[in-house]
Amino acid sequence: MGIWRHLCAAMLLLGVSCGRSPRLVDYNVNADYLTEIFPAPLVVVAVIASDTLVRDPVSSHSDPGLLLQLRKVRVRVENVLRGKTSCGATTIYYFGWHDYTGGNRPLGAWKEGDRRIFWLREDSGVLRTACDARDCTMPVYSGAHPHYKADQQKPLGYALADIWFTRGEGATDADFVRQVDWGYPSTVPETYLIEKLQRLAAAGIPSVRAAACKQLSNIQQPCVEAIHPDPGQRH
């Protein structure tokens, strides 16, 4: 009993009550992605293991008439693209819609086994998404990249391009084409993006080449000629 009391006291110092959910306050559901969400100090690639309800309904802090639900998603962190944390199993908390009625993609619209990029903050001793209700995670269809280490001296966009436009382990041709077709945010440096896409266009896999050429066309860049069949270096 003495050990348990000391453990509970330590958890309370972290803002997590014994046997209860952490004391989290929801973020503004209309937060600006570029100025309020994407600067989050921790960005990881993680695979979804499970997603469970913690508390529902929860009145929004910024709009009491808006009902949310607190959830936690168990993930396996594979890559750390910004900040410091351990790879492996961890738990992330987030506020989702209590009753989703359509509109922007909701946060939590994933399933077990999905691989996504998370923008995270530490709060009350736990990790939580940098956004609430609206989805600010991004998909990774390009497979696993177990040997990839991000150069955190460079802007995050370089690591995003490396993950998305390098075929990883377990990705089929269709998976990788889906990734290239998905696109990229404006935070990816254009010169680096062009380099990545031209390399894929030259790889010789027809479906990947077509997807890369389409993206190059969207930014008014020429599609280089195919050189030889080569799916590209894997991380």
Could you read off the pLDDT of 56-100 as tens digits, one per residue?
999 998 888 899 999 999 999 999 999 999 999 999 999 999 988
Q: How far is CA 123 from CA 78, 104, 107, 129, 191, in A?
A: 22, 25, 18, 10, 36
Query: Is the CATH code 1.10.3470 the one for domain 22-139?
Result: no
Q: What ranges do the domains of the chain cover?
A: 22-139, 151-235
Give 89-121 pLDDT, tens digit per residue: 999 999 999 988 777 899 999 999 999 999 999
Q: Which helix (H) or strand (E) segment is 47 a member of?
A: strand 42-59
Amino acid at 150: A
Per-residue pLDDT band at 229 (split at 50, 70, 90): low
Residue 115's closest CA among 64, 77, 148?
Answer: 77
Query: What SS3 state is found at 207?
Result: helix
CA-to-CA distance for 66 and 68, rounded, in angstroms?
7
